[in-house]
A and B are shown apart, each in its own frame.
Chain A
Amino acid sequence: MFDAALRKRLLSAAAQTIVAHTDELTALDSAIGDGDHGFNMKRGFEAVQGSADAFAAMSAPEMLKAAGMKLVTTVGGASGPLYGTLLMSLGKALPEAPTRAEAVEAFAKAIEAVKARGKSDVGQKTLLDVLAPTLAALQAGADSAAVAQTARQAAEATAPLRAIRGRASFLGERSIGHVDPGARSACLLIAALCEVWSEYA
């Protein structure tokens, strides 16, 4: 059942994977950005974890809005507004008890909101390069394991891209050859959520 216990497990899984990979995200961001992605995400997701009981007691849409606002107010970097917008928009678009199709549609709307917030699109070496293929896999009916695999491959596939947005864009050609830290954190989150979901489904 999609109850408070499962909602809390999803929040905790998201926080745990970010905390466990803080150093990796920092290293990726040090290569092509300002090196703060790991710590910023850790600060934000620890704050979400700290409120996990209160958030999990809410309906799924309200929980997503509250967790998104928590990220916006605690992350302190560009990823705060981007992940915050993703979650808040998902919360706004999601009905209280969505069907799979409704949930996928809400995810599509949330991705559009992230594009607008970042004035960015697919192919510019950002988290969108993971979110968009993940959406496509969901739309195609992929199961949890396949969705997670898609996200992982999509994150790896940002390495040869040249950054157009964000701090990495200042490096131009030199951004090529490194996995985008935002794409990597998106893939970590999706993989962690898929793992919890696979046990539930």
Chain B
Amino acid sequence: MSNVGIVIVSHSPKVAEGAADMVRQMVGDDVPLAWAGGNGAGGLGTDFAEIAAAIERAWSEAGVAILVDLGGAETNSEMAVEALPDDKRAKVVICNAPIVEGAVIAATEASGGAPLHVVRRTAEELSP
């Protein structure tokens, strides 16, 4: 698929999955979408390997925009992005935006074929 992919990373699998459900309702299958949530041991937290896998699932040649909630979601996502091969790393961004609203608006923008930097900017316009 040529549309930008969206990855949602929350400490809570329920939040991540629920945000992904809202994105699907808006854009259907027009946008590659994946989520990662929880610490891998059934608790709240974020998991480096799960985030890396989610980036793979949502992969698009147009790039991937990641939406995160709190601290560890961002730092673990940064590490997952840095672990990507050079050619892929350049096509992944972490958006400074509220996770639910950011995911929905980023996906809506992506579904119209917008390039990665526009998808990111649109999501980040939500942050004061």
Number of interface residues of B (CB under 8 A): 17
Q: Which residues of B contact A73 (CB under 8 A)?
A: 47-49
Docked complex: B23-59 residues within 8 A CB-CB of A: 39-41, 43-49
Q: Which residues of A contact B98 (CB under 8 A)?
A: none
Asked if A81 meets B70 with Cβ closer than 8 Å, knowing A76-B41, A76-B43, A76-B46, the reply is no
Asked if A72 meets B48 with Cβ closer than 8 Å, knowing A81-B72, A82-B75, the reply is yes
Q: Which residues of A contact B39 (CB under 8 A)?
A: 36, 40, 76-77
Can you list 23 A-B contacts with CB-CB less than 8 angstroms, sorted by A residue number? A36-B39, A36-B43, A36-B45, A40-B45, A72-B48, A72-B76, A73-B48, A76-B41, A76-B43, A76-B47, A77-B45, A77-B46, A77-B72, A78-B75, A78-B76, A81-B72, A81-B75, A81-B79, A84-B79, A85-B79, A117-B78, A118-B75, A167-B71
A residues bordering B, Cβ < 8 Å? Answer: 34, 36, 39-40, 43, 72-74, 76-82, 84-85, 117-118, 165-167
B residues bordering A, Cβ < 8 Å? Answer: 39-41, 43-49, 70-72, 75-76, 78-79
